């Protein structure tokens, strides 16, 4: 049996994936466990492992192909006894499916963009040359053929030149091969450029002019517009947080905690511990929040359309900023495990998040979130709930502030926290109870031992 | 009004007559004023008659090597007078051709000396010494240039020649001094050498063909010397003196070292001077700098309605540059969309044996301008067609911008390279990158394959070296 290899669904939010690269070539023998390809999901890059044995007979997408719908056929593995007919049958079977899967895609992206993506990919691989060379030229040729057609039509039907030009070729950009390459090298969208060559063809001079102008503008104000394709991670962040803000009735509670004791306790915890194993304030906050949720289980829940789920354990999602986005890896059963264990897990998560190597199992689930902007010197802020969770704790920076204790003003280290709660499942009083519990633990760290 | 036109063109060289024809095509009532022969220097005393002469030299050379082709020929000889006559005949035919073209396009032609008489006015002194006034809102000056007259190197048209004299001598000199190793000097040196004249070619700069790529200059130097042409670089001619049937020459061979030599004849080819002196420039407000009329890309001068094209508006002094400017100028006058820009691409061709052709910048210019570049070189020895035709003397050199793949320059020596250069000109004009050139199929067997190989060589992909 010829074996279909499909675009896997690697996380519940994944609807489409990008084919980062093929790790095997067509014709390679594949054994179970071999890595066939790398797939880029909305969150990370994953490897596709072979389950069956065979020869990689066909690949349906090229390296760098984007927006391949989940469950689309991406390759065919040919078994020992398979005939070419079998492979063909399989291709026919999946052909319809792939079309359905990709139909929405087509509507989104117009052809121009595809061409451009392709060109960018080609130029990136320039040193490899010949293959790429051929590809680039195919594109150039297609275009020049189109130009010829355009010209012929003009000749045949002089009167309608204008309508033909405006309707049919509205999106087409005519540019010299050199101008195209310079645009790619300088990351310029040809759409933004006025062509001054014959029939508005974009030539090198136009690119130079554009670059000079941009440089001038940059020198004056450092401001200019550019369009960058939305990454799949950005798209997920946008979708989920828009959903959250639009659908979840957020309410906000603020509290200030004195962290003098906590800082001292941390210092003691870290004595004689080498630099890379030191426990951070954030690690302690994770533990404190987990213990508080354990004490106030009414807050450890999720709104569902029919019922409310109360969680058995406390799984804390911790926001980790990466270039161009963020991940929320989950510390599971944080109420049970030791701070040192939390610390170790977090260090590993942060490292892997930055490398783009988190697995879906690392960031899926979670009952409650923490977002800490203390290191960015933010006093306090209002965070958006990560659905379907019931709340998120926004943690600010520790600052020395005057505090009234009894009749005296004292300077103490103060931490501002703000809870965002889903009012559908938590009421103000429950939120307050949770925050006070948290404050109590933070201010009296010994309670974490109880 | 009989003497009123939309456009008056003074000079009917390759700038003027081409501009006039284009103007007529665009509906302008046009007058051409010519003081000598239609077609200007190019047709009558330049490009064309010299090519006729060089063809005779080429045939003579081929006959001298005819044994190599398995053909024997006893006592081939040449008739000098007939060679000259053929050259003149071709010029005459072409000049008649221009006459016909102007007539066909309903362009009036007046023979006489044209001169500006204020804005929009031209006075023509005709051959009967009558002065007639013509008026037009647009006047194109296309009067070309003449050989430069340098002190000490005055031409007497007997023993000391300019290029015109060198084209029509009654008989061959025994020894010939060619002063100036630009295109004209190199062509004459090649021509006379091929007919057995002992030629000395003198250049004041470091290399012959000083504006060409160094590889080209040194290739031609080696080749010429092999043929028996004496080449003296860095040599200044201080004085020429015509004595009886000889020229006495004082030359500065090195600093403060002057030697005196005698030659049968000398050709002075040290450059040209624009014909702007007797043109009535002072009656209008036209800027002149370094002895040339200042214009923009459309040939517009500082005086509205007066334009200048070709040699009088500056180097390079080439017929095809003048024609191109003529067309841009006229299309601009009638607002016809024209795609001229600052960097017009002007190829250069030299019809010596072997031929030289180039376009774009030299390697020396790339270094000077600190352009990141890569070079491809392909020798004609590696080209099958060149071998088959018995002429594989030459090479093709290409210069690319290393980062963008832009073709910056191409320099060629060899058989028919003057015909082949347009492939590269077109590539530069259309802004082809190295990938476009590499993936173009060049037919086999042709000499043009060496153009392909040179591009491949620039990226270490040449097959036949």
Output the 3-class SS for chain B. Answer: CCCECCEEEECCCCCHHHHHHHHHHCCCCEEEEECCCCCHHHHHHCHHHHHHHHHHHHHHHHHHCHHHHCCCCCCCCCCHHHHHHHHHHHHHHHHHHHHHHHHHCCCEEEEEEEEECCCCEEEEEECCCCEEEEECCEEEECCCEEECCCCCCCCCCCCEECHHHHHCCCCCCCEEEEECCCHHHHHHHHHHHHCCCEEEEECCCCCCCCCCCHHHHHHHHHHHHHCCCEEECCCEEEEEEEECCEEEEEEEEECCEEEEEEECEEEECCCEEECCCCCCHHHCCCCEECCEECCCCCCECCCCCEEECHHHHCCCCCHHHHHHHHHHHHHHHCCCCCCCCCCCCCCEEECCCCEEEEEECCHHHHHHCCCCEEEEEEEHHHCHHHHHHCCCCCEEEEEEECCCCEEEEEEEEECCHHHHHHHHHHHHHCCCEHHHHHCCCCCCCCCCHHHHHHHHHHCCCCCCC
Do B215 and B318 belong together in one domain?
Answer: no
pLDDT in tens, B359-379: 999 999 999 999 999 999 999
Instruction: State whether residue A246 is helix, strand or coil.
Output: helix
Provide CB contacts within 8 A for B305, sequence distance 6+. B119, B120, B137, B138, B139
Q: Is residue B465 part of a domain?
A: no
Whether residue B2 has pLDDT greater than 80: no
The pLDDT of residue A223 is: 54
Q: Cβ–Cβ of B404/A196 closer than 8 Å? A: no
Q: How far apart, in whole angstroms, are the C-alpha atoms of residue A181 and residue B216?
A: 31
CA atoms within 13 A on the CB side of B105: 23
Whether residue A106 has pLDDT greater than 50: no
A-contacting residues of B 190-219, CB under 8 Å?
none
- Exposed, middle or buried by CB within 10 Å (0-12, 13-18, 19+), for B308? buried
The pair of structure tokens assigned to B369 is 């301008």
How close does chain B come to A214, measured CA to CA in Å? 19
Q: How far apart, in whole angstroms, are the C-alpha atoms of residue B423 and residue B321?
A: 17
Do B168 and B198 belong together in one domain?
Answer: yes
Q: Cβ–Cβ of B433/A181 closer than 8 Å? A: yes
Q: Cβ–Cβ of A181/B404 closer than 8 Å? A: yes
The pair of structure tokens assigned to B142 is 């296309």
Mean pLDDT of chain A: 81
Q: How confident is the model at residue A143 (pLDDT cuts 50, 70, 90)?
A: very low
Q: How far apart, in whole angstroms, are the C-alpha atoms of residue A405 and residue B182?
A: 98
The tally of domains found in chain B comes to 3
The pLDDT of residue A356 is: 83
Q: How confident is the model at residue B216 (pLDDT cuts 50, 70, 90)?
A: very high
Mean pLDDT of chain B: 94
> Of B331, B433, B438, B440, which to mutate for an interface test with A (greatest number of A Cβ within 10 Å)?
B433
The pLDDT of residue A275 is: 83
Q: How confident is the model at residue A160 (pLDDT cuts 50, 70, 90)?
A: very low
Domain ranges of chain A: 3-108, 112-221, 232-449
- The b/e string for A46-78 (b: 16+ C-beta within 10 A; e otherwise) is bebebeeebbbbbbbbeebbbbbbeebbbbbbb
The pLDDT of residue B381 is: 96
| Closest-approach residue (CA) in chain B for A200 | B339
Architecture of domain A232-449: 2-Layer Sandwich (3.30)
Do B226 and B319 belong together in one domain?
Answer: no
The pair of structure tokens assigned to A184 is 């790619």
Distance of CA A271 to the CA centre of its chain: 38
| Closest-approach residue (CA) in chain B for A186 | B404
B335 close contact with A: CB closer than 8 A: no
Across A40-54, A72-86, A223-237, B43-57, the highest mean pLDDT is recorded for B43-57
Q: How far apart, in whole angstroms, are the C-alpha atoms of residue A35 and residue A52?
A: 12
Distances, alpha carbon B259 to alpha carbons B152, B176, B239, B262, B268, in Å? 15, 17, 11, 10, 18
Q: How far apart, in whole angstroms, are the C-alpha atoms of residue B45 and residue B50?
A: 8
The pair of structure tokens assigned to B112 is 């006489």
Active site includes B113? no
Q: How confident is the model at residue A197 (pLDDT cuts 50, 70, 90)?
A: confident
The pLDDT of residue A224 is: 59
Q: How far apart, in whole angstroms, are the C-alpha atoms of residue B377 and residue B394?
A: 11
Instruction: State whether residue A140 is helix, strand or coil.
Output: helix
The pLDDT of residue A100 is: 53
CB distance B88 to B82 below 8 Å:
no
The pair of structure tokens assigned to A398 is 């520790």
The pLDDT of residue A141 is: 44
**Which residues in chain B touch residue A142, judged by CB atoms under 8 angstroms apart?**
none
Across A318-332, B98-112, B115-129, the highest mean pLDDT is recorded for B98-112
Q: The tokens 């109880």 sit on which residue?
A: A450
B137 close contact with A: CB closer than 8 A: no
Do B436 and B449 belong together in one domain?
Answer: yes
How close does chain A come to B407, measured CA to CA in Å? 9
Q: Cβ–Cβ of B405/A181 closer than 8 Å? A: yes
Instruction: State whether residue A241 is helix, strand or coil.
Output: helix
Q: Cβ–Cβ of A133/B438 closer than 8 Å? A: yes
Q: How far apart, in whole angstroms, are the C-alpha atoms of residue A125 and residue B90?
A: 56
A416 close contact with B: CB closer than 8 A: no
Whether residue A416 has pLDDT greater than 90: yes
* Position with higher pLDDT, B180 vs A55: B180
B-contacting residues of A 131-190, CB under 8 Å?
133-134, 136-137, 140, 176-179, 181-182, 185
Provide CB contacts within 8 A for B282, sequence distance 6+. none
- pLDDT average, residue stretch B96-111: 96
Q: How confident is the model at residue A90 (pLDDT cuts 50, 70, 90)?
A: confident
B-contacting residues of A 188-207, CB under 8 Å?
196-198, 203-205
Q: How far apart, in whole angstroms, are the C-alpha atoms of residue B96 and residue A354?
A: 80
Do B33 and B65 belong together in one domain?
Answer: yes
The pLDDT of residue A158 is: 43
CA atoms within 13 A on the CB side of B425: 17
Q: Is A305 left (phi over 0), alpha (psi -120 to 50) or beta?
A: alpha
Do B49 and B117 belong together in one domain?
Answer: yes
Listed residue (B464, B334, B358, B461) closest to B407, CA to CA: B358
The pLDDT of residue A167 is: 43
- Topology classification of domain A112-221: Dihydrolipoamide Transferase (4.10.320)
Listed residue (A106, A7, A111, A2) closest to A56, CA to CA: A2
Kindly provide the ipTM of the predicted complex, given to two decimals: 0.74
Do B256 and B166 belong together in one domain?
Answer: yes
The pLDDT of residue B167 is: 95
Q: Which of B247, B270, B293 is the last residue of a domain?
A: B270
Q: What percent of chain B has pLDDT over 90?
A: 92
- pLDDT average, residue stretch A83-105: 67
Q: How far apart, in whole angstroms, are the C-alpha atoms of residue A3 and residue A23?
A: 18
Task: Compute the count of residue pairs across chains A and B with CB atoms less than 8 Å apart.
Answer: 40
Q: How far apart, in whole angstroms, are the C-alpha atoms of residue A245 and residue A233?
A: 18
Residue B402: which CATH number? 3.30.390.30
Give the DSSP H or E segment for A368. Answer: strand A368-372
Q: Cβ–Cβ of B404/A137 closer than 8 Å? A: no
CB distance B313 to B295 below 8 Å:
yes
Distance of CA A282 to the CA centre of its chain: 23
Do B288 and B176 belong together in one domain?
Answer: no
Do B120 and B183 belong together in one domain?
Answer: no
Whether residue B21 has pLDDT greater than 50: yes
- pLDDT average, residue stretch A423-441: 95
* Position with higher pLDDT, A82 vs B162: B162
Strand pairing report for B395-401 and B373-379: antiparallel
pLDDT in tens, A391-402: 999 999 999 999
Q: How far apart, in whole angstroms, are the C-alpha atoms of residue A264 and residue A343?
A: 18
Q: Which of B218, B252, B270 is the last residue of a domain?
A: B270
Q: How many helices (H) and strands (E) does chain A have?
A: 12, 18
Q: Is residue B347 part of a domain?
A: no
Instruction: State whether residue A26 is helix, strand or coil.
Output: coil
The pair of structure tokens assigned to B41 is 């220097």
Q: CB neighbours (10 Å) of residue A413?
A: 17
A-contacting residues of B 236-275, CB under 8 Å?
none
CB distance A105 to A17 below 8 Å:
no
Do B37 and B119 belong together in one domain?
Answer: yes
Do B241 and B378 belong together in one domain?
Answer: no
Strand pairing report for A391-405 and A368-372: parallel
The pLDDT of residue B341 is: 62
Nearest by CB to residue B436, choosing from A129, A177, A185, is: A177
The pLDDT of residue A272 is: 86
The pLDDT of residue B41 is: 94
Least confident among A144-153, B110-119, B192-201, B227-236: A144-153
Q: How confident is the model at residue A443 (pLDDT cuts 50, 70, 90)?
A: very high
A209 close contact with B: CB closer than 8 A: no
Q: How far apart, in whole angstroms, are the C-alpha atoms of residue A407 and residue B65?
A: 119
- Exposed, middle or buried by CB within 10 Å (0-12, 13-18, 19+), for A274? exposed
B406 close contact with A: CB closer than 8 A: yes
> Of A123, A143, A177, which to mutate for an interface test with B (greatest number of B Cβ within 10 Å)?
A177
| Closest-approach residue (CA) in chain A for B406 | A178
Tell me which residue range forms the domain holding B223. Answer: 160-270
Q: Is residue B11 part of a domain?
A: yes
Of B61, B290, B324, B444, which one is the catalytic site residue?
Answer: B444
CB distance A394 to A374 below 8 Å:
no
Whether residue A107 has pLDDT greater than 50: no
Do B141 and B280 belong together in one domain?
Answer: yes
The pLDDT of residue A29 is: 86
pLDDT in tens, A41-80: 766 777 888 888 888 888 888 888 888 888 888 888 888 7
Q: How far apart, in whole angstroms, are the C-alpha atoms of residue A359 and residue A344?
A: 17
- pLDDT average, residue stretch B115-138: 93
- pLDDT average, residue stretch A361-389: 93
Provide CB contacts within 8 A for A427, sequence distance 6+. none
Residues in chain A: 450
Q: Cβ–Cβ of B339/A197 closer than 8 Å? A: yes
Strand pairing report for B292-293 and B236-243: unpaired
Q: Is residue B341 part of a domain?
A: no
Nearest by CB to residue B439, choosing from A134, A179, A181, is: A134
Indicate the pTM of the whole model: 0.59
Whether residue A222 has pLDDT greater than 70: no
Q: How far apart, in whole angstroms, are the C-alpha atoms of residue A228 and residue A217?
A: 19
Residue B220: which CATH number? 3.50.50.60
Torsion sign over Cα A139, A141, A145, A150: positive
Which DSSP state fits A175?
B
The pair of structure tokens assigned to A269 is 């915890």
The pair of structure tokens assigned to A171 is 């999106």
Least confident among A274-278, B120-124, B241-245, B407-411: A274-278
Least confident among A53-67, A151-165, A318-332, B281-295: A151-165
Architecture of domain A3-108: Beta Barrel (2.40)
**Which residues in chain A touch residue B435, judged by CB atoms under 8 angstroms apart?**
133, 136-137, 177
């Amino acid at each position: 049996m010829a074996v279909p290899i499909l675009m896997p669904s690697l996380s519940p939010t994944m609807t489409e994936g990008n084919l980062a690269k093929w790790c095997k070539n067509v014709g390679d023998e594949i054994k179970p466990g071999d890595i066939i390809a790398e797939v880029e999901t909305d969150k990370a890059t994953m490897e596709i492992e072979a389950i069956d044995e065979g020869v990689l007979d066909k690949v349906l997408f090229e390296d760098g192909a984007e927006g391949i719908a989940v469950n689309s056929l991406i390759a065919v593995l040919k078994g020992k006894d398979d005939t070419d007919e079998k492979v063909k049958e399989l291709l026919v079977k999946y052909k319809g499916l792939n079309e359905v899967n990709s139909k929405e895609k087509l509507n989104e992206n117009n052809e121009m963009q595809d061409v451009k993506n392709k060109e960018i990919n080609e130029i990136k691989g320039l040193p490899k040359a010949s293959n790429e060379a051929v590809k680039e030229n195919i594109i150039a040729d297609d275009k020049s053929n189109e130009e010829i057609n355009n010209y012929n039509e003009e000749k045949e039907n002089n009167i309608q030149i204008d309508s033909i030009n405006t309707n049919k070729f509205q999106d087409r950009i005519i540019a010299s091969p050199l101008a195209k390459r310079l645009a790619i090298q300088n990351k310029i969208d040809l759409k933004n450029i006025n062509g001054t060559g014959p029939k508005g063809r974009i030539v090198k001079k136009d690119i130079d002019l554009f670059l000079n102008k941009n440089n001038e503008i940059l020198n004056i104000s450092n401001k200019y517009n550019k369009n960058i394709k939305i990454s799949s991670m950005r798209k997920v962040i946008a979708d989920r947080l828009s959903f959250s803000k639009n659908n979840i009735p957020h309410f906000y509670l603020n509290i200030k905690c004195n962290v003098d004791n906590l800082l001292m306790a941390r210092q003691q915890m870290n004595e004689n511990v080498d630099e890379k194993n030191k426990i951070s304030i954030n690690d302690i906050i994770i533990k404190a929040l987990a213990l508080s949720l354990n004490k106030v289980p009414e807050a450890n829940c999720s709104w569902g359309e029919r019922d409310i789920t109360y969680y058995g354990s406390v799984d804390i999602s911790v926001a980790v900023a990466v270039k161009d986005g963020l991940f929320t890896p989950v510390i599971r059963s944080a109420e049970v495990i030791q701070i040192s264990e939390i610390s170790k897990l977090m260090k590993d998560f942060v490292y892997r998040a930055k490398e783009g190597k988190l697995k879906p199992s690392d960031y899926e689930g979670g009952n409650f979130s923490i977002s800490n902007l203390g290191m960015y010197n933010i006093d306090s802020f209002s965070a958006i709930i990560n659905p379907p969770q019931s709340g998120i704790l926004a943690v600010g920076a520790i600052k020395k502030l005057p505090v009234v204790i009894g009749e005296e003003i004292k300077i103490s280290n103060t931490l501002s926290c703000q809870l965002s709660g889903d009012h559908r499942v938590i009421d103000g009083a429950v939120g307050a109870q949770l925050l006070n519990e948290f404050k109590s633990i933070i201010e009296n760290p010994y309670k974490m031992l109880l | 009004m009989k003497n009123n036109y939309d456009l008056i063109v003074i000079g009917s060289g390759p700038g003027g007559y081409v501009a006039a024809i284009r103007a007529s095509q665009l509906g302008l009532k046009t007058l051409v004023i010519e003081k000598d022969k239609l077609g200007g220097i190019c047709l009558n005393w330049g490009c064309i008659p010299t090519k006729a002469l060089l063809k005779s030299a080429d045939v003579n050379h081929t006959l001298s090597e005819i044994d190599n082709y398995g053909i024997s020929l006893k006592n081939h000889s040449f008739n000098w007078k007939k060679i000259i006559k053929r050259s003149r005949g071709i010029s005459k035919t072409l000049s008649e051709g221009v006459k016909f073209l102007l007539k066909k396009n309903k362009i009036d032609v007046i023979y006489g000396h044209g001169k500006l008489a204020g804005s929009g006015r031209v006075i023509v002194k005709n051959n009967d010494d009558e002065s007639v006034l013509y008026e037009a809102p647009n006047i194109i000056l296309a009067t070309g240039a003449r050989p430069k007259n340098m002190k000490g190197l005055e031409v007497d048209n007997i023993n000391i020649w300019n290029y015109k004299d060198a084209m029509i001598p009654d008989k061959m000199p025994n020894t010939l001094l060619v002063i100036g190793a630009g295109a004209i000097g190199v062509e004459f040196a090649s021509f006379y050498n091929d007919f057995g004249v002992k030629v000395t070619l003198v250049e004041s700069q470091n290399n012959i063909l000083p504006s060409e790529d160094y590889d080209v200059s040194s290739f031609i130097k080696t080749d010429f010397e092999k043929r028996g042409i004496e080449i003296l670089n860095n040599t200044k001619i201080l004085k020429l003196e015509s004595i009886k049937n000889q020229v006495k020459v004082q030359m500065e061979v090195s600093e403060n070292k002057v030697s005196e030599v005698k030659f049968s004849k000398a050709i002075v080819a040290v450059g040209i001077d624009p014909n702007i002196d007797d043109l009535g420039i002072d009656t209008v407000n036209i800027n002149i700098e370094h002895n040339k009329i200042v214009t923009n890309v459309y040939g517009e001068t500082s005086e509205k309605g007066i334009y200048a094209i070709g040699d009088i508006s500056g180097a390079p002094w080439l017929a095809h540059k003048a024609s191109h400017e003529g067309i841009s100028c006229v299309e601009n006058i009638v607002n016809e969309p024209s795609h001229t820009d600052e960097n017009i691409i002007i190829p250069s061709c030299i019809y010596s044996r072997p031929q030289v052709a180039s376009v774009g910048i030299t390697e020396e210019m790339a270094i000077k301008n600190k352009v990141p570049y890569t070079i491809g070189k392909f020798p004609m020895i590696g080209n099958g067609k060149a071998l088959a035709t018995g002429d594989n003397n030459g090479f093709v050199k290409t210069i690319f911008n290393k980062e963008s793949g832009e073709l910056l320059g191409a320099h060629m020596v060899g058989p028919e390279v003057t015909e082949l250069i347009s492939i590269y000109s077109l590539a530069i004009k259309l802004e082809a990158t190295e990938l476009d050139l590499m993936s173009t199929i060049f037919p086999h067997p042709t000499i043009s394959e060496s153009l392909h190989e040179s591009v491949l060589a620039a990226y270490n992909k040449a097959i036949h070296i």
